[in-house]
Structure 1
Amino acid sequence: MKLSTMLHQRFAIRHKARTYRAWRLGAVLALITGGAFAANCDMRLSNPEVDYGALNRGEMELRGNAPIALGTRQLTLTAVCRQETTFGLRFEGQRSDSTSYRFAGKGNFTIKLSSATLDGTSVQLAQLSGDAVGKATGASAAIELRPNEAVTAIAQNQRAVGKVFLAQIEIRTYISEAETRARDITTLEGRGALTLETQ
């Protein structure tokens, strides 16, 4: 099961007596059901669109070539299965580095999971090595969903089994200073798919 996501940004520059530069960034996440477990599980987000609103370059605190943080957005992920199962999450997107995904040309975004519960009981989260049946390591209350890695729910030092999984998703997005210097309307994007792995 995959939850696809698109982060997009629009730059609008109006040439009047004063040059005005503003952009809008949104993260649109739409549910796609597919794969072997589509008939057994449903996955959804609390809000299908995250909007960073209009930003004015003149009001930004620019520090040379340092990345510009566009803020943090929170979503709630809910996965409901008809039978008890383990839950693993993986984000498939263009890698920027070992901890983040590509946003536009030089920007990036990170994904963190936290406050997870399984059937109403708090669980920890851990990196899952290898495939969906791999070994879980480094359990904690919050964990980054990094490229080429999966995260699983942990209870009593082993992979937890249940029917209803909830977690908070935190998205942090950064762009480069150079990407704010557009001469026309420009769209910057980052894409990926959140995959639910069960067994």
Structure 2
Amino acid sequence: MRREPAGSRRWGLALLCFTALMANEAQADTCRLSLSQPRVDYGVIHRTERMEGASGRQSLGKRTLHLTVVCTHPSVMALRFNGVPADGHGFQFGRQGRFTLSLKQAQVDGRDVEWTVAQLPGEPASGRLLPGQTLVARATGARVTGRRLTAQVDIDVELAPAALAVRNQTLLEGQGGFELVSLAVPPSQ
């Protein structure tokens, strides 16, 4: 049996798989959500390449996607991400990791917008998509309606140090889907 030297062991880290979903049939007929790439592949990572984050977890660095929503009629722009919650702060990546998603540089019809949490309408949000939350585009304190939403999606993957202690190449992955949410009915009903 051939053994690799300890420093040359590799572990494979692949795939964050994303899908685009619509909340209801009427929304699906009038709006289209797309991503610049539906899959993010971190490739094979050697143990020596890992970087420790501030939390003691191993960070694989940020990746960026571009999200676009185009509607035939003006619509309230509200998004949620459906994935397996890792904790209250992110989504599951492998058994011992998580990934977070943040919406940056968002615009509706060319106008800069900020985000609020639909469940807490008066509270501004950082643009971070958390499990169970819907973010609503707002400007000057009111929901924004429009035909085109563009945003940068920053993805950050972190793993517990134990997730990196593997003997063989190992596939770790996370998945989920972005959903354009219709807010015709207030979220509390």
Pairwise TM-score range, normalised by the shorter structure: 0.7 to 0.9
What CA RMSD, in Å, does the superposition of the two structures yield over aligned residues?
2.4
Number of matched pairs: 179
Residue 152 of structure 2 is aligned to residue 168 of structure 1: yes
Give SS of 2:95's match: coil
Tell me whether 83-92 or 26-35 shows the greater mean CA deviation. Answer: 26-35
- Say which of 156, 160, 170 aligns to 1:186: 170
Contact 2:51 2:60 in 1 (8 A): no
* Counterpart Cα distance in 2 of 1:62 and 1:85: 42
Letter in 2 for 1:139: P
Give SS of 1:184's match: coil
- Residue in 2 that maps onto 1:85: 75
Structure 2: which 5+ runs fail to align?
Answer: 185-189
Give SS of 1:96's match: strand
Give SS of 2:132's match: coil
Contact 1:90 1:149 in 2 (8 A): yes
Tell me whether 98-107 or 16-25 shows the greater mean CA deviation. Answer: 16-25
- Residue in 2 that maps onto 1:8: none
More strand by share: 1
Contact 2:32 2:71 in 1 (8 A): yes
Letter in 1 for 2:131: P
- Residue in 2 that maps onto 1:126: 116
Deviation at 1:78, TM superposition (A): 0.1
Distance 1:56 1:17, change over 3 A: closer
Deviation at 1:17, TM superposition (A): 5.1
TM-score, normalization: structure 2?
Answer: 0.83
Deviation at 1:151, TM superposition (A): 0.3
- Residue in 2 that maps onto 1:150: 134
Contact 2:15 2:173 in 1 (8 A): no
Letter in 2 for 1:172: D
* Counterpart Cα distance in 2 of 1:73 and 1:62: 17
TM-score, normalization: structure 1?
Answer: 0.79
Contact 2:19 2:177 in 1 (8 A): no
Deviation at 1:16, TM superposition (A): 4.3
Contact 1:42 1:79 in 2 (8 A): yes
- Say which of 22, 25, 28 aligns to 2:14: 25
Distance 1:48 1:61, change over 3 A: closer
- Residue in 2 that maps onto 1:51: 41
- Residue in 1 that maps onto 2:123: 138
More helix by share: 2
